[in-house]
Amino acid sequence: MSIFNYKQRNNIILVSIIVLGCFLLYALSELFSSILGAIVLFTIFRPFFLWMVERRKFNRALAAVIVIVISLVVIVIPFLSLSIMVIGKIASINRDTIPIDKWTQKIDEFTAANIGQPHFAESTLQKLGAYVADLFPSILSGAANIVLTLLVMYFLLYFMFVQMREFELGLLKYAPFREQHALKFATELRNSTYSNVLGQGIIALTQGALLANGFWIFHIPDPIFWGVIGAFISFLPVVGAPTLCIPASIVLYANGDRIQGVILLLYGILFIGNVDNVLRMLINRRIGNTHPIITVIGVFIGLPLFGILGLVFGPVLLSYFLLLLEIYETNRMAADRLERIRTGPELP
């Protein structure tokens, strides 16, 4: 006969589940990028998958494969290609056609004469190199980790789509809140994902294209490369692509092209910067509202954890966390109201 009663056995099982779950989470920490990536892609492509299955009567497995191929061609391959291009360009920047030494000297001369900082460009370039090295750790660490991450991500994504009904019903069943709150969380989850991934992606591509166009007009060497850099840093609202116009304007000004330098600076700050604000307003109206503070803090959270992917995953994770806090607060208030109803009004 067991020495434990029914309640004690349940408590022991619950503690065992929590301990084992923590151990499994720790063991799967290396694959967290794959899991989060699968969730993000599932959220983005779910309407398209349902359209293929319900409207076009596609087989679920075929529709899942189509989604995987589209995401590879549209998102993953271009992103990896641009990352590899940036790393290769930075690695060869001293021996390539970009006169980086001349630019550094010109900027240092300008800052020394005007703001008393004779080594401004040199120190900034060193910090930028260290920052970029931290930004692309997943690329620099080798192709094997990237392939493994993608294989696990698409393996999960395939079964999330093929068994979508079972997957979503399981989430509703084991969600630690009521069904209406779970549905609200799913809606907010979709809006946050769209806002952080699609919205920020549109802003980044637009700013990168405008920056490359401006550099091409003013004959800055390798405008496409700088446009790609601008697209990456556009995920940082505090920095953004317009800041790249500042050193380029200083170089033009120091070379004697003072009018062009001033025009390029105004083009970056007034035009590219305001395009960011206009697009963000439209995206918040149509997709979902993500506060810039969430984006900034999320980026600083995500970069050490995911590298370059942290530009996207960091704000998404922070948004999910805040959603859970909101639902917890709603549940707590509902529980307090039920407790007051059950116990009755307090006597004076």
pLDDT tens-place string over residues 296-325:
777 778 777 776 667 677 777 887 788 778
Q: What is the pLDDT of residue 113?
A: 66
Helix axes of 292-306 and 310-343: crossing angle, nearest 10 degrees: 120
Give the pLDDT band (50/70/90) at residue 164. confident
| Residue 84: both structure tokens together | 């590899």
Convert the chain into a string of H (helix), E (strand) and C (coil): CCCCCHHHHHHHHHHHHHHHHHHHHHHCHHHHHHHHHHHHHHHHHHHHHHHHHHHCCCCHHHHHHHHHHHHHHHHHHHHHHHHHHHHHHHHCCCCCCCCHHHHHHHHHHHHHHHCCCCCHHHHHHHHHHHHHHHHCHHHHCCHHHHHHHHHHHHHHHHHHHHCHHHHHHHHHHHCCCCHHHHHHHHHHHHHHHHHHHHHHHHHHHHHHHHHHHHHHHCCCCCHHHHHHHHHHHCCCCCCCHHHHHHHHHHHHHHCCCHHHHHHHHHHHHHHHHHHHHHHHHHHHHHCCCCCHHHHHHHHHHHHHHHHHHHHHHHHHHHHHHHHHHHHHHHHHHHHHHHHHHHHCCCCC
Q: What is the pLDDT of residue 120?
A: 64
Q: What is the pLDDT of residue 114?
A: 67
Q: What is the pLDDT of residue 155?
A: 93
Mean pLDDT of the 168-172 span:
79
d(CA 70, CA 78): 12
Residues 6 or more apart from 309 whose CB is under 8 A from it? 33, 37, 138, 302
CA 287 centroid distance within chain: 16
Q: What is the pLDDT of residue 65?
A: 93
Higher per-residue pLDDT: 334 or 243 = 243
Q: What is the pLDDT of residue 95?
A: 46
Give the pLDDT band (50/70/90) at residue 262. confident
pLDDT tens-place string over residues 117-150:
666 666 666 666 655 555 555 444 555 677 788 8
- Give the chain's mean pLDDT: 76
- Angle (CA) 129-117-261 rounded to 5° is 80
| Residue 296: both structure tokens together | 């900034």
pLDDT above 90: percentage of residues in the chain: 8
Q: What is the pLDDT of residue 67?
A: 92
Q: What is the pLDDT of residue 293?
A: 73
pLDDT over 80 (residue 208): yes
Lowest mean pLDDT among 74-78, 91-95, 212-216: 91-95
Higher per-residue pLDDT: 130 or 230 = 230
CA–CA distances in Å: residue 78 to residues 65, 69, 71, 73, 228: 19, 13, 10, 7, 11
